[in-house]
């Protein structure tokens, strides 16, 4: 999809569809919608009067112009209530618009920056949100479908602006929006990819290509190197599969003068069967996506590099499968992580915290600070917070607050859960320093408490994305399947931190 901004009037442009907007509760069209309404002989006003057009968020009416305007169609898109309007709603609305225009055989579309004045955000934020909405909403995962799609996507979107002084900031929003949205699509593609394709080696290959294209440093450790590093917890999980595990480290230096480097750590479990503690079939179906955390940190660092943010970031991804078999980890086994702590494996399905233990210990050893990890870690977090919210856990409230604020602007939802010392005893083992499951109750919390043991005092936030990494329904920027949840939040956080 191509985006372009130019000076002009929406009523004069020749294209398949023009997009105009109304707020919920408006009694008549205003701005660009009014100009279009006048050209069409008052049809938009009539639709409002008759109550057919309410301006509710994501409500879209398609009107054929029958030659009264150079454009073939007008899409009137609702923006919802004016007081509630924000960038997330703008993204969702455009996502619905591109999917609607796809059904109406539109190749070219033109829009103004909608809701001008409302929401209080800049023209750059606004054009960024529009591009993100269009790209995220039009996403399809069809690479393994041999029949070609019968509906084609909108190929070109033109932004029409009447004020020449705004054009440059709008154009820079177009560029940034594309970088951010395409990073989210990269994560979606990786998560949607079946596990027979998205192996640890394939993840490492993708990371290598990204490093090459964006000038990132890359290290990929294989089994022998992990042995040298004494990563016994990760190796324990990896011993049950014939797919070689990979420990992937990508680094971006955007400000060599700064001595701090942020660590992004992502769970890269390319398939989680549960191991010997085998999952029931209905819980196994989405487990090709158990590497979502890893995909998200790879995608985020690639965008941070493209945006040339003045910040240093290292992404660490432990990647393996978790399978049962003759060599697999057994309940009761004791492993030793690279920081010397011993772990009793009471449940081989609690493998995420095992591979993250070594990844977090590695991040600490590399001096990364702060550390943010993302993981599809617990079904308990999904049960607690549902499909939309990821759980946040921290040993540093100021850092968590920054991340939660960044997520709010990215339109991704985070909710903090506590890390009470009182629950530490649930992770106590009789035979080792700690055990890898604290049982059913508070399962997301005991998992986070386990991870905390491996970051020592470094400022750290853990994000459990087991709820939002996939979605069952297509709505707004989300398309059924992988969501890329977290990519836009991490980029926003990095951009906020680099502005200081
Ligand atoms: N990858 C799963 C968690 C998960 C479940 C992610 C559903 C996304 C959707 C994780 O490895 C796991 O199996 N966790 C166990 C932990 C338990 C054994 C302590 C769980 O949540 O059941
Ligand atoms: Mn598991
Ligand atoms: Zn898992």
Query: pLDDT (tens digit, 9 = 90+) per residue, 392-444?
Result: 999 999 999 999 999 999 999 999 999 999 999 999 999 999 999 999 999 99
User: Which ligand 1 atom sits closest to the C-alpha of 469?
Assistant: 8
**Quick check: CB of 379 below 6 Å from ligand 1?**
yes
Which of 377, 438, 449 should be mutated for ligand 1, with most atoms under 8 A from CB?
A: 377
User: Which ligand 1 atom sits closest to the C-alpha of 289?
Assistant: 8
Give the closest residue (by CA) to ligand 1 atom 7: 379
- Rounded to whole angstroms, the Cα distance separating 415 from 326 reads 40
Burial of 255 per CB tally in 10 Å (0-12, 13-18, 19+): middle
**Quick check: CB of 378 below 6 Å from ligand 1?**
yes
Locate the DSSP E strands across 233-295.
246-253, 262-266, 268-272
| 374 pLDDT higher than 70 | yes
| Cα–Cα–Cα angle for 260, 262, 264, rounded to 5 degrees | 160
Which of 378, 435, 447 should be mutated for ligand 1, with most atoms under 8 A from CB?
A: 378
Give the closest residue (by CA) to ligand 1 atom 13: 349
Question: In Å, what is the CA distance from 61 to each residue of 50, 84, 104, 244?
Answer: 14, 21, 12, 52
| 118 pLDDT higher than 80 | no
- Output phi, psi for 294, to 5 deg: -65, -45
3-state helix, strand and coil shares in percent for the chain, rounded to the nearest 5: 40, 20, 40
Kindly give the distance from the C-alpha atom of residue 290 to the centroid of ligand 3, in angstroms, as a whole number: 6
**Quick check: CB of 351 below 6 Å from ligand 1?**
yes
Whether the Cβ atoms of residue 317 and residue 210 lie closer than 8 Å to each other:
no
pLDDT digits (tens, 9 = 90+) for 306-325: 999 999 999 999 999 999 99
Kindly give the distance from the C-alpha atom of residue 482 to the centroid of ligand 2, in angstroms, as a whole number: 18
Q: How confident is the model at residue 343 (pLDDT cuts 50, 70, 90)?
A: very high
Kindly give the distance from the C-alpha atom of residue 261 to the centroid of ligand 3, in angstroms, as a whole number: 27
pLDDT digits (tens, 9 = 90+) for 56-110: 999 999 999 999 999 999 999 999 999 999 999 999 999 999 999 999 999 999 9
pLDDT digits (tens, 9 = 90+) for 240-289: 999 999 999 999 999 999 989 999 999 999 999 999 999 999 999 899 99
Whether the Cβ atoms of residue 201 and residue 292 lie closer than 8 Å to each other:
no
> Would you call 82 helix, strand, or coil by DSSP?
helix
- Rounded to whole angstroms, the Cα distance separating 298 from 266 reads 8
**Quick check: CB of 382 below 6 Å from ligand 1?**
yes
Determine the pLDDT at residue 499: 78
User: Which ligand 1 atom sits closest to the C-alpha of 267?
Assistant: 1
CATH of domain 193-499: 3.40.630.10
| Cα–Cα–Cα angle for 151, 154, 157, rounded to 5 degrees | 175
**Quick check: CB of 272 below 6 Å from ligand 1?**
yes
**Quick check: CB of 376 below 6 Å from ligand 1?**
yes
In 3D, which of 244, 252, 460 has the Cα closest to residue 361? 460
| 49 pLDDT higher than 80 | yes
- Rounded to whole angstroms, the Cα distance separating 426 from 439 reads 7
Q: How confident is the model at residue 120 (pLDDT cuts 50, 70, 90)?
A: confident
- Rounded to whole angstroms, the Cα distance separating 491 from 497 reads 10
A 10 A CB-CB count for 95 gives 25
Kindly give the distance from the C-alpha atom of residue 324 to the centroid of ligand 2, in angstroms, as a whole number: 12
Q: 202 Cβ partners below 8 Å, 6+ apart?
A: 193
Determine the pLDDT at residue 116: 66
The residue among 492 and 118 whose pLDDT is bigger is 492
Determine the pLDDT at residue 150: 87
| 119 pLDDT higher than 80 | no
- Rounded to whole angstroms, the Cα distance separating 317 from 451 reads 15
Give the closest residue (by CA) to ligand 1 atom 8: 466
- Length of the chain (residues): 500
**Quick check: CB of 466 below 6 Å from ligand 1?**
yes
Kindly give the distance from the C-alpha atom of residue 435 to the centroid of ligand 2, in angstroms, as a whole number: 15
**Quick check: CB of 464 below 6 Å from ligand 1?**
no
- Rounded to whole angstroms, the Cα distance separating 415 from 487 reads 17
- Rounded to whole angstroms, the Cα distance separating 125 from 74 reads 24
> Would you call 330 helix, strand, or coil by DSSP?
coil
Give the closest residue (by CA) to ligand 1 atom 5: 379
Buried b (16+ CB within 10 A) or exposed e, 140-161: bbeeeeeeeeeeebbeebbbbb
Give the closest residue (by CA) to ligand 1 atom 16: 350
- Rounded to whole angstroms, the Cα distance separating 434 from 219 reads 30
DSSP-derived secondary structure for 224-241:
HHHHHTT-HHHHHHHTT-
Catalytic residues: 279, 353
Show the DSSP H helices in 437-480 as ranges: 443-452
Give the closest residue (by CA) to ligand 1 atom 9: 466
Kindly indicate whether the domain formed by 2-180 is annotated with CATH number 3.40.220.10: yes
Domain ranges of the chain: 2-180, 193-499
Tell me the percentage of the chain whose pLDDT exceeds 70.
99
Can you tell me the mean pLDDT for 451-472?
98
Give the closest residue (by CA) to ligand 1 atom 14: 378
- Rounded to whole angstroms, the Cα distance separating 478 from 125 reads 20
Report residues near ion ligand 3: CB below 5 Å: 269, 272, 290, 352
The ligand that comes nearest to the alpha carbon of residue 436 is: 1
Q: How confident is the model at residue 149 (pLDDT cuts 50, 70, 90)?
A: confident
**Quick check: CB of 290 below 6 Å from ligand 1?**
yes
**Quick check: CB of 443 below 6 Å from ligand 1?**
yes
Determine the pLDDT at residue 425: 98
Q: Which DSSP category does 343 fall into?
A: E
Kindly give the distance from the C-alpha atom of residue 191 to the centroid of ligand 2, in angstroms, as a whole number: 16
Work out the mean pLDDT of the chain and round it to a whole number.
97
In 3D, which of 381, 375, 359 has the Cα closest to residue 455? 359
- The residues facing 416 across adjacent strands are 392
Q: 361 Cβ partners below 8 Å, 6+ apart?
A: 337, 338, 339, 454
Can you tell me the mean pLDDT for 169-173?
95
> Would you call 175 helix, strand, or coil by DSSP?
helix
């Amino acid at each position: 999809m191509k985006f372009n901004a130019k000076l002009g009037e929406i009523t004069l442009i020749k294209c398949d569809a023009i997009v105009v907007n109304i707020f919920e509760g408006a009694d008549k069209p205003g701005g660009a919608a009014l100009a279009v309404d006048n050209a069409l002989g008052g049809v938009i006003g009539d639709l409002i009067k008759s109550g057919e057009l309410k301006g509710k968020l994501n409500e879209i009416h398609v009107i054929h112009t029958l030659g009264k305007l150079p454009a073939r169609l007008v899409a009137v898109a609702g923006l919802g209530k004016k007081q509630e309007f924000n960038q997330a709603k703008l993204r969702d609305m455009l996502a619905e618009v591109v999917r609607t225009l796809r059904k109406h055989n539109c190749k070219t579309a033109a829009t103004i920056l909608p809701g001008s004045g409302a929401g209080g955000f800049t023209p750059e934020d606004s054009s960024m949100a529009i591009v993100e909405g269009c790209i995220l909403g039009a996403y399809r995962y069809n690479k393994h479908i041999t029949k070609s799609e019968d509906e084609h996507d909108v190929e070109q979107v033109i932004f029409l602006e009447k004020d020449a002084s705004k054009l440059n900031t709008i154009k820079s929003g177009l560029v940034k929006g594309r970088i951010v949205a395409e990073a989210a699509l990269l994560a979606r593609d990786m998560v949607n990819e079946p596990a027979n394709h998205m192996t640890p080696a394939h993840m490492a290959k993708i990371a290598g290509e990204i490093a090459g294209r964006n000038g990132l440093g890359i290290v990929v450790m294989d089994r022998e190197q992990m042995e040298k590093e004494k990563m016994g917890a990760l190796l324990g999980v990896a011993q049950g599969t014939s797919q070689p595990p990979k420990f992937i480290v990508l680094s971006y230096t955007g400000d060599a003068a700064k001595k701090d480097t942020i660590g992004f750590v992502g769970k890269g479990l390319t398939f989680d069967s549960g191991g010997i503690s085998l999952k029931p079939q209905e819980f196994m179906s989405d487990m090709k996506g158990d590497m979502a955390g890893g995909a998200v940190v790879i995608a985020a660092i690639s965008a941070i590099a493209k945006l040339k943010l003045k910040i240093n970031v290292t992404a660490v991804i432990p990647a393996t499968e978790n399978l049962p078999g003759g060599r697999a980890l057994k309940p009761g086994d004791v492993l030793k992580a690279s920081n010397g702590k011993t772990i009793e494996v009471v449940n081989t399905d609690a493998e995420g915290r095992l591979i993250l233990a070594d990844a977090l210990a590695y991040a600490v050893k590399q001096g990364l600070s702060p550390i943010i990890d993302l993981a599809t870690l617990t079904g308990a977090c999904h049960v607690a917070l549902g499909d939309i919210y990821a759980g946040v856990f921290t040993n540093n409230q100021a850092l968590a607050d920054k991340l939660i604020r960044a997520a709010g602007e990215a339109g991704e939802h985070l909710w903090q859960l506590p890390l009470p010392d009182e629950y530490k005893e649930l992770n106590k083992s009789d035979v080792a320093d700690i055990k890898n499951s604290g049982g059913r109750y508070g399962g997301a919390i005991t998992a986070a408490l386990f991870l905390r043991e491996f970051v020592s005092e470094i400022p750290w936030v853990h994000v459990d994305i087991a709820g939002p990494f996939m979605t069952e329904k297509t709505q707004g920027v989300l398309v059924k399947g992988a969501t890329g949840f977290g990519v836009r939040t991490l980029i926003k956080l990095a951009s906020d931190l680099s502005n200081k």
